[in-house]
Each structure stands twice: as structure tokens, then as C-alpha cells.
Chain A
């Protein structure tokens, strides 16, 4: 009660007031936000004689953000968040020019307004009000309530106006400083985000980086949606609070209100910012339930690149007032993110096309040959965006057995792909029609020479004919790496055969040979992507090829080629070249 005893003596003392006002200006100079200032300001007004309550309200047009109050019964300032739009009647209280003090009877005011309710509850009948303009259409109003109109004298009115002006100036200074900070942070964020996004060509990782970098520098939550063939999909989300992370993921994936808002942005191509009433009916804002209650505002920006809208970037804010310049910054960020996503999407699309085109150049499935298990593998080089020239095929023999083809067109790209198709189909068709391998290779060479291409082709043809319990293998090589024979006991023999490249000279010679393949033995054919795969330490796979063939051939016949290709992929540091492997293993009898 000490405080109340002091009131009567202090209130009339102009010296006390000017001392406090001076202090207030000093606080206003240095305040980081209005909270510290508000405590002194409300306390000063409450100490004036006859004042029962001091209430402040913070508005944007007709939207009431919050009110702050002190009363004689509760002299510690408390803040009540409102976030409600009172439309015209709310906006009517906005200041018209410079701050002026008006005096009203409480009974004349709209009793549904929360600040009026505070005044009524404190037992006030009259009030003096001073509204001040703040930046960006915002305004604040300070009210002192008294028991009767006579208490509101010139001194009280003057003092109310003085503190209102301090609050106004301080708010403007804080807003300006904050805008400056936001600009600095925005620039830094864009630079950092660009670094983060550029370090990945993978879309998934790119979008996750966007979301994670933004929280909490920009907002408390971030969600990224992309327009995928199956529709608009949430692809990444990040929340400041681990406890709300799952909630956000669910809202991003399922909420119909949010989906509607996103569609609006996709349709118009224009950014959207919602707060207060704008959030009504959705999963956010004080009227919602659960984790969304803390969200005060959201912004949705379209992600646009090369004239297409790729998706949306959504931020969730727990703070009401977003600094000036935020909209340009968000647009800049969305553009940057869209560009990063677009590049990684393009990369992935192109790679998918390469892989699918490559598949078309290979047989859809290998034939079933009695007594032989065939396996094959094809690995597209990782960094490659062009179709490679490796090919293989298997043609069943008329009297049992099989003819295996494997080759490599040098280089990559559309021309290599065309020649690969030509080579595989020429060899296959001729062999199906009963041509000998020599003849088939000869015809292919002529076709290539006729094409007058600068590219050459290497090829290997192996004819497997049933012979007793196993097979007789005859093979022809046109400049291709020698195949290997893995014996059932694990030993590996190289089937040396030289021979000229195809597509260079009119007349060529092939290297050929013949070998027996007993049950359990396997013929291993591959392209130079296998032997030339290079590890980080500079060694080539060739140096361990035999050991790996021994090892990977030890398991099931099915999957032998895949296991060998996998060993190569694991070994190599960079996978520039494609790899093709074709294996035929004679089934063990009994």
C-alpha cells in the first residue's frame, strides 16, 4: 500500500513528472522493444490522481492485435492477446493526423470491445484517450479511466499526450531499426540459402535445405509444396519446436483449408499473407486448436522458375507484426529457391530420360536357355546426362544353346545411342537369321563404315552349344576386352582374343577362340567401364577383377552379373562410364 500513499504527493509534483518523463525518453532511446518502455509508461499514468485503470491497444486498421492494462487492483502490467478484426468500428478509432486527446463517457462506448470491458471492470466511468499513428497502417491508443469526468483535468490530458508521443517516437525508432536488421539478415540469408541450395543437385535434399535454413531465421515454421505429376504435394517441412514437427507435417500434407490457400496462390501466381480474421476456419490462429493456436500469421509465396509455377513456399509466424520489406525479401527467397529446385528437377528429369532410353537399347528380359543361367547388369554412370553406348543381348540357338552379344560404342549422346541401336539390332537380326558370327560382325562393320561416323565400336560374340554335360564356347572379339571363364572351383581364366575395332577399316580381322564350359563354370563378359573403373587412390578395378569374379560368382547363378556390377560401383570413386556385364553359367548337373 506504500505506493498508494505516495500517489497524492507525487501526482501534483511537476518536478516528479518531468523527471519520470525524462527517464521515459531515455528508455525510449535504447529500448529493443516496447515492453520495457510500456512498464514505466503505464506505471506513471496509474500514479496520477483518480486514475483507476490504464489501457493500451495495438491495431492494424480495424484489427486489434493485443491490449495492455494496469489497474489499481492489478498494478503490474499484463498483456492480453486479441487478434480480432473489428472492421469499420475498430478502424474508426484510428488517429487522424497528430495525437490528440479526447474525453468520453465509458457508457458511450461499444461494450463488446475488450478494452472497454477492462475499463468497466475497473469501475471507471470516464476516460481520456490518445491515439497515435505507427508505421505501416498500424496505430495504438492509450486510455486512462477515472471514476468521474472532473478528474480528467488539463494536467492529466497533457501528460497522457506526452507519454503517447514518447511511445509513438519509440515505436517508430524500433520499427526502423528492425527493418534495417531484417534487410541485413535477409541479404545474409539469401547468400547462405544460395550456398546451401547450390550444394545439392538432388531435389529432395534441396527443398529440405530451404526449409531448414529458414527456421527460425525467418519464421517459426516452413513448409514447401511442389506441383508433382500426382498433384500438389508437401515435400518438406520444418518447425522450430520438435514437439510441433509432426503436427506441421500432417497439416502440410492433409489440411484442406491450407490446400485451398495454396491453390489460390498457384492460380494467381501472387503471394498471399494472412493474419487475424484471414486465418479463420483454418488450422492456424487463436481460434484454432492444438499447435496451430500459436501461429499468428502465414505467408505463401509461389515458386516460379522459367515462367512456370513449381509449387509454394509457406512460412508460419508466431509473431504478429512482420517487418517492412519482408514481402520483397520473401519473394526474393522464393525465386532463389525455385531456381534451385528447377535446376535439380531438370537434372533429375534428364537423368530419368537417359536411364529409360538406355533401357530401350537393352533387351527387356533375357531368354531362358535350358542348362544355362543368364544374368546381366547395366549401370549408368552417375554424373552422366547422356545416353551411353554399351549394349548386350542373348539370342537362343536353333539347336539349343545361346549366342551372347556384348559391345560398346565409343562416346555418349544421341549419335552414340543411334549407333548402339544399330549395332545391337544388326547383330541380333543376322544371328537370328542364321548368319555366322563372323558374317554378322562383317556386316555390322560395313554398315558402320557406310555411316561414315567418327565413332568406333567394340564387340564380343560368344556361341554356346550344348556339349555333353556342359557347353562348347566359341567366341569372336572385335577389339573388345577379353571375357573371363570362372571355373566352378573359383579359378578364373582369361579368354584372350584380339581383333580390330568395328567402323574404322573396310576389311577387318577378328580374334577368336574356343573353350569348354563345364557345369558350374561361368562365362563373364563385360565392357571397359568395369576394367577402367578407378578408385580414389588411383587404382583400377582391373587389378582386382579376377578376385572379384571369384568372389561374386560364388553365390547363386542368378544375380552374378548384378553382384559384379555392384562391386564395381562400390569400388569406383567417380562413375563417369557406364558398365555392362553379361554372365552365362552352365547349370550344375545333379
Chain B
């Protein structure tokens, strides 16, 4: 979901994370600092007011990592409210939970998530999964900017 670059002040090196567990938030920060030292991270533990913050932000994140199991408005609620605002189309939303129920994947995709990732218990694996997701959406945003075919080599 890479929108027209610049127009919506989207910063593809900025990632917002919605995660209520302090432990998981810490793991995400630790993982991404290692794999993507250039990323700026912003953490919040509630879905309340998240869309308003996104709309009001001077720089919008290229990527939102959204825990589906949140107190208050659920991850799915937050997801639906993001997708109800066309001006946020350029923000890719990666939803994650620790369960892998096939139904949940379908409903999450239907609600407008760009990716659904499963949150593994093992930290190394968690890091690999996060890296895969961030790389994918950064690469996609970049190829949208530079025309098809461009990608960083491995």
C-alpha cells in the first residue's frame, strides 16, 4: 500500500507500534534496532485515539505494527478505523497476534490489514519475522517510488 510519495508526508523510515504488553514492545524495539538501526520507532499501548494521532501527525509512518489483542478498542477496531480513512491509504498496517487461527487471518485481511504475521515465542524467530515484514513493506514502498524492479540486493 505505497501511496503517492511526499503528498501525505509519509516517512518510510518511521514505524508506529501499537502493543499493550511492555515485554513484547521491548522485544520489538530490541529486534528492530538490530535489524533496522535507521528506523525511528514510536510505541503506544492503546488503540484509543490512534487514528486521530495518525491523521494529525506531521510525519506519518510508512508502517504500523498492530497487536490484534488490545484492551479497549481491539486491534481489528483500530484497523477498520484506519482503513475507513482514505487519506491513510499510504500507511501499511501489519497486524500480529500469537494465535494462527485461519479464520483470524481471513477476517484480518478482510478488515484491511496489509500483512498478518504470527508472533513467535522465540526471540530470534520474532526478529526474523519482523525483519521480513519491515523489509517487505520498505522494499514495496521504495519500488513504488523508483519504478518496478528496484530492490536492494541481499
Contacts and interface: CB of A to CB of B under 8 A. Distances in A.
B139 interface: yes
Chain B CB within 10 A, most for which of A33, A189, A208, A216 = A216
A529 to B, nearest CB: 30
B116 A35 contact: no
A2 B87 CA distance: 40
Interface stretch (A239-247, A350-358, A371-379): A239-247
Interface in A208-243: 208-209, 212-213, 215-217, 220, 238, 240-243
B154 A33 contact: yes
B152 A191 contact: no
Given A216-B117, A240-B136, A245-B109, A209 B154 contact: no
A220 B131 CA distance: 12
Interface in A235-265: 238, 240-243, 245
A318 B139 contact: yes
A72 interface: no
Interface in B129-154: 129, 132-133, 136, 139-140, 146, 148-154
Interface string B104-129: 01000100111111101110110111
Contacts of B148: 293
A192 B100 contact: no
Contacts of B118: 212-213
A217 B120 contact: yes
B49 interface: no
Given A185-B125, A240-B133, A242-B116, A65 B153 contact: yes
Interface in B22-68: 35, 37
> Which of B105, B118, B146: most chain A Cβ within 10 A?
B118
Nearest to A185: B128
A205 B102 contact: yes
Contact of A209 (B100, B112, B150): B100
A241 B114 contact: yes
Contacts of A205: 102
Interface stretch (A78-86, A125-133, A400-408, A497-505): A78-86
Contacts of A220: 132, 136
B85 to A, nearest CB: 18
Contact of A213 (B100, B149, B153): B100
Interface in A57-104: 58, 65-66, 78-81
B128 A217 contact: yes
B140 to A, nearest CB: 8
A293 B152 CA distance: 16
Nearest to A220: B136
B153 A321 contact: yes
B53 to A, nearest CB: 23
A319 interface: yes
Interface residues of A, number: 43
A212 B112 CA distance: 18
Contacts of A188: 120, 122, 124-125, 128
Interface in A173-210: 178, 181, 184-185, 188-189, 191-192, 195-196, 204-205, 208-209
A414 interface: no
B133 to A, nearest CB: 6
Which of B100, B105, B152 counts the most chain A CB atoms within 10 A?
Answer: B100
Contact of B149 (A80, A185, A208, A238): A80
Given A185-B124, A212-B105, A243-B114, A320 B136 contact: no
A222 to B, nearest CB: 12
A34 interface: yes
B100 A212 contact: yes
Contact of A79 (B113, B129, B150): B150
B153 A66 contact: yes
A470 interface: no
A510 to B, nearest CB: 52
A50 interface: no
Contact of B113 (A242, A286, A293): A242
B100 A208 contact: yes
28 contacts: A35-B152, A65-B153, A79-B150, A79-B151, A181-B128, A185-B127, A188-B124, A188-B128, A189-B128, A192-B125, A195-B121, A204-B102, A205-B102, A208-B102, A212-B100, A212-B116, A215-B117, A216-B129, A217-B120, A217-B129, A217-B132, A240-B133, A242-B112, A242-B115, A243-B1, A318-B139, A318-B151, A321-B154
Interface of B: 1, 35, 37, 100, 102, 105, 109, 112-118, 120-122, 124-125, 127-129, 132-133, 136, 139-140, 146, 148-154
- Which 4 A/B pairs are nearest by Cβ-Cβ distance? A216-B132, A188-B122, A188-B125, A185-B128
